[in-house]
Amino acid sequence: QKEVEQDPGPLSVPEGAIVSLNCTYSNSAFQYFMWYRQYSRKGPELLMYTYSSGNKEDGRFTAQVDKSSKYISLFIRDSQPSDSATYLCAMSDQGAQKLVFGQGTRLTINP
């Protein structure tokens, strides 16, 4: 069993839709939860960073962490064609000695 599971998609939605991306994990030691966005032929860039459980909002993006279910989500409101990218969840334990990534979900927003 992989430490982090993420549906690879691909996911295609119309512009303006609400997008929900999800990851599950098995390691209960994970405390830090991140979402990275990766455009084609580019390196990943950090989008959201959350510690422990709860919600965090940044503009059109909302990250949720449910540690009891070992489940994290990223919501994108009013999605734009420029949001088309691969979204990677990542997580690490206390002390952040190791950053573990999910498989990535390829998202396309259609104009």
Partner 1 sequence: EAGVAQSPRYKIIEKRQSVAFWCNPISGHATLYWYQQILGQGPKLLIQFQNNGVVDDSQLPKDRFSAERLKGVDSTLKIQPAKLEDSAVYLCASSQRTLLMNTEAFFGQGTRLTVV
Site for partner 1, rule CB under 8 A: 4, 6, 8, 32, 34, 41-46, 49, 88, 92, 94-104
Burial of 74-107, coded b for 16+ CB within 10 Å and e otherwise, reads: bbbeebeeebbbbbbbbbbeeeeeeeebbbbbbb
Between CA 30 and CA 80 the distance in angstroms is 31
Q: Which of 32, 11, 16 is nearest to 104 (CA)?
A: 11
User: Cβ distance 72 to 65 under 8 Å?
Assistant: yes
Which residue lies nearer to partner 1 by CB, 72 or 104?
104
Name the minimum Å distance from CB 26 to partner 1: 15
Name the minimum Å distance from CB 23 to partner 1: 10
Classify strands 105-110 and 11-14 as parallel, antiparallel or unpaired. parallel
Which residue lies nearer to partner 1 by CB, 32 or 75?
32
Which residue lies nearer to partner 1 by CB, 3 or 17?
3
Which residue lies nearer to partner 1 by CB, 15 or 45?
45
Name the minimum Å distance from CB 42 to partner 1: 6
Name the minimum Å distance from CB 61 to partner 1: 16
